[in-house]
A and B are shown apart, each in its own frame.
Chain A
Amino acid sequence: MIRPSLIILGIILGIALGLLYGWAISPVKYTDTDPSSLRADYREQYLLLVASAYQADGNLDRARERLAALRDPDSTQTITALAQRMAAEGKDASALAALAADLSGGVQPVASASESPASTPVPLPTETSTPPPTPLAAPSLTTFPTLTPTATPGYDYTLITREPYCNDAERLPLIIVDVIDADGSPLPGVRVTVTWGEGEDGFVTGLKPEISSSYGDFLMMVGVMYNAQVGSRTPPVTGIAAPTCADVENESYAGAVRLVFQRK
């Protein structure tokens, strides 16, 4: 005669034994995994390593292969987001910014240490060729963390262009900064510090590679005067304020200021 109570007891005991074996005696050991299974913080670490390795060897195909192992459908966007977050935390995001820019086709890969450096100048974006700028983020009143030296900490920059920038489509009071090298090639990963009154914030060029790897921007508040400093040694550009622009119907709006810096 079958006694259901004993069967149930056996099932319960069997499951308990199975769990005891699976969780305590011989728990799962993860081996032979691939980078796509890494925990979020380790994935970020992996991205940083890929960017640093790319900085070392300039091999974009290799960087792409390494990124492919993460199975991220939009690794460029992930890198850009990580770079923006690191920049906001005051950390050096230049390697990530450079990789994001190059993945987007912004600039040619840097030469490896054993090769002669060869950079391909990329034309600066012009008002006719540049897509409408979009703001990075509204300036916050929180103090930006202590500046961390970037990849270009000891360079001096010359302001070569300062002009109002009116874009009827966007109508945003931006500080638009383009930073180029001595030979005219775009420079991603350059830190720009913006100060106003008691406030301080900053951004890094190259985080919008769809516009240009030399590009960075900052959303101003209308009526506030700002200063913008590129790098840490060049004196800041002072007295920046949103200019008044007028559209085709003569309707006025607060426009942008475009600054172009060239590394000496």
Chain B
Amino acid sequence: MTRTALFNFIAGAILGIALGLIYSWQINPVKYTDTAPDSLRADYQADYVVMIAQAYSTDGDLDLARARLATLNLVDPGQHVADLAAAQIQRGAALDDLRALSALAAALGAVPPPLPR
């Protein structure tokens, strides 16, 4: 391959990549649809877990709570809930939320943080 041919090839490749990017970024950019709860932003995930804990506090259905937590793909759901309870204590969350999180964490085998008095 001559130098001119190589230049043409590289120019074509760059043009191809540029076209691909124009298409993917401008003409048809990514739209977030059909996502799962594990892709939620951290604050939404935290609230999602709080809701799971609140639901568990009313229905007492641990299997259902486990299934709901599974959609977040957590390595250790119980510890995650306990950690969230600790974080919620730090930010002064409502005592009912803390109780719900602690109860769920304990039910999942984790050690919940002591609740504020």
The majority secondary structure among interface residues of chain A is: helix
The contact sample of 22 A-B pairs, CB cut-off 8 A, is A7-B9, A8-B12, A11-B19, A12-B16, A13-B9, A14-B16, A15-B20, A18-B20, A19-B20, A31-B39, A32-B41, A32-B42, A33-B32, A33-B39, A37-B32, A37-B33, A38-B34, A38-B37, A49-B52, A53-B55, A56-B58, A113-B57
CA distance A31 to B14 in the complex (A): 29
Other than the given A18-B20, A33-B41, A56-B96, 4 more pairs (CB < 8 A) read A19-B20, A37-B39, A39-B35, A66-B51
* In the complex, per-residue mask of A39-75: 1 if CB is within 8 Å of any chain B CB, else 0: 1101001101110110111000000001001000000
B95 proximal to A (CB < 8 A): yes
Q: In the complex, which of the residues A38, A55, A112 has the most CB atoms of chain B within 10 Å of its own CB atom?
A: A38
* In the complex, per-residue mask of A64-97: 1 if CB is within 8 Å of any chain B CB, else 0: 0010010000000000000000000000000000
User: Residue on B with the closest CB to A55?
Assistant: B58
Cβ B44 vs Cβ A17 within 8 A: no
Given known A-B contacts A38-B35, A42-B36, A52-B55, A114 and B96 have beta carbons under 8 A apart:
yes
- Near A by CB (< 8 A), chain B positions 1-59 give 4-5, 8-17, 19-21, 24, 30, 32-37, 39-42, 44, 47-48, 50-52, 54-55, 57-59
Cβ A15 vs Cβ B100 within 8 A: no
Contact among A14, A37, A48, A52 for B35, CB-based, below 8 A: A37
Q: In the complex, which of the residues A7, A14, A29 has the most CB atoms of chain B within 10 Å of its own CB atom?
A: A14
* In the complex, per-residue mask of B71-92: 1 if CB is within 8 Å of any chain A CB, else 0: 1000000000000000000000
- List the B side residues contacting A53 at CB < 8 Å: 50-51, 54-55
Cβ B52 vs Cβ A17 within 8 A: no
A6 proximal to B (CB < 8 A): yes
- List the A side residues contacting B52 at CB < 8 Å: 49
Cβ A39 vs Cβ B36 within 8 A: yes
Cβ A6 vs Cβ B5 within 8 A: yes
Cβ B12 vs Cβ A7 within 8 A: yes
Given known A-B contacts A7-B12, A31-B39, A18 and B17 have beta carbons under 8 A apart:
yes
CB of B16, distance to nearest CB on chain A (Å): 3
CA distance A17 to B5 in the complex (A): 20
User: Residue on A with the closest CB to B6?
Assistant: A6
* In the complex, per-residue mask of A1-39: 1 if CB is within 8 Å of any chain B CB, else 0: 111001111111111011100100000111111110111
Q: In the complex, which of the residues A1, A15, A17, A22 has the most CB atoms of chain B within 10 Å of its own CB atom?
A: A15
CA distance A40 to B35 in the complex (A): 9
Cβ A49 vs Cβ B55 within 8 A: yes
Cβ A3 vs Cβ B8 within 8 A: yes
Contact among B5, B8, B33, B95 for A114, CB-based, below 8 A: B95
Cβ A7 vs Cβ B36 within 8 A: no
Contact among B5, B19, B55 for A56, CB-based, below 8 A: B55
- List the A side residues contacting B8 at CB < 8 Å: 2-3, 6-7, 10
Contact among B14, B30, B59, B95 for A52, CB-based, below 8 A: B59
Cβ B71 vs Cβ A11 within 8 A: no
Cβ B48 vs Cβ A39 within 8 A: no
Cβ B40 vs Cβ A56 within 8 A: no
- Closest 6 A/B residue pairs (Cβ): A10-B12, A14-B16, A52-B55, A11-B16, A7-B12, A14-B13
